[in-house]
Amino acid sequence: MANTLLMPKATAVWLVDNTALSFDQIAFFCHLHPLEVRAIADGEAAQGIKGMDPIMNGQLTRDEIKCGETDPNYRLKLNEPKVRVPEAKRRGGRYTPLSKRQDRPNAILWLVRNHPELKDAQISRLVGTTKSTIEQIRNRTHWNSASLAPMDPVTLGLCSQIDLDLEVQRASSGRAPAAPVGDTLLPAALTERMPLEQAPKDEDEELDASKVFAKLSSLKRQDAEDDEE
């Protein structure tokens, strides 16, 4: 486990309020800019952040703070952790709990349909399956193909949304963007050269009353002739 400072900004708030360390010393220890530490001291930054005591969590000692307060050029050092936890390294595919293994074919079907750009190795990493199973589901030769229903692997708890987005982003890198579907706007270069439409007639233009009555009269005569026939 890397020896890194926990919650650096909250630690800086505590050091500003409880020690006589300089802004440069606090900035160096907390990996912040000295101006940001000055803003914390002036109340312009880190408002609402509760200070965290680095002595209580074992990352700093009182003697170390006294050395820094005595010598402005002294640089504080983190305490070495008493217990080192080795980082876990994943080997092979992702482990899937036994209770969720029955959902893997449904998740594979969802990935195949919704993200065809994913490779078999990527699907295998996401849900912890084999390439042969993926191929059977792609080709509809899986023994339970008739009963499979596509289900989101994130909803099933087989992978996280971050892992899924990362694999999709990797698979989509270098691919040409999909062509737009449906009506789209014309480029500005074309619309600027198009002729302007004729202006609509004035809405306040008066109607010719004689033409309207003549039209009504002709319609009445036509209806009367149709009735006589």
- Every domain of the chain and the residues it spans: 8-70, 98-172
- Does residue 156 have a pLDDT over 90? no
- Portion of the chain with pLDDT greater than 90, in percent: 24
Tokens of residue 36, six digits: 């940001």
In angstroms, the CA 125 to CA 107 distance is 12
Average pLDDT over residues 24-37: 91
92 versus 219: the higher-pLDDT residue is: 219
- Does residue 94 have a pLDDT over 70? no
Q: What is the pLDDT of residue 24?
A: 93
Distances (CA, A) of 166 to 17, 54, 112, 127: 41, 35, 16, 14
Q: What is the pLDDT of residue 143?
A: 87
Of the listed ranges 37-51, 86-100, 125-139, the one predicted with least confidence: 86-100
Q: How many CB atoms lie within 10 A of CB 142?
A: 18
Q: What is the pLDDT of residue 212?
A: 62
Q: Mean pLDDT for the chain?
A: 77
| CB-count exposure of residue 30 (10 Å: 0-12, 13-18, 19+) | buried
- Does residue 190 have a pLDDT over 70? no
End-to-end Cα spacing for the chain: 103
Among 174, 148, 114, residue whose Cα is nearest residue 123:
114
Q: What is the pLDDT of residue 83?
A: 53
Q: What is the pLDDT of residue 1?
A: 43
In angstroms, the CA 41 to CA 29 distance is 16
In angstroms, the CA 229 to CA 219 distance is 16
- Which band of pLDDT confidence, cut at 50, 70 and 90, is reported for residue 28? very high
Q: What is the pLDDT of residue 186?
A: 58
Q: How many CB atoms lie within 10 A of CB 216?
A: 10
In angstroms, the CA 41 to CA 202 distance is 69
Give the tens place of pLDDT for each residue, 196-209. 554 445 444 455 66
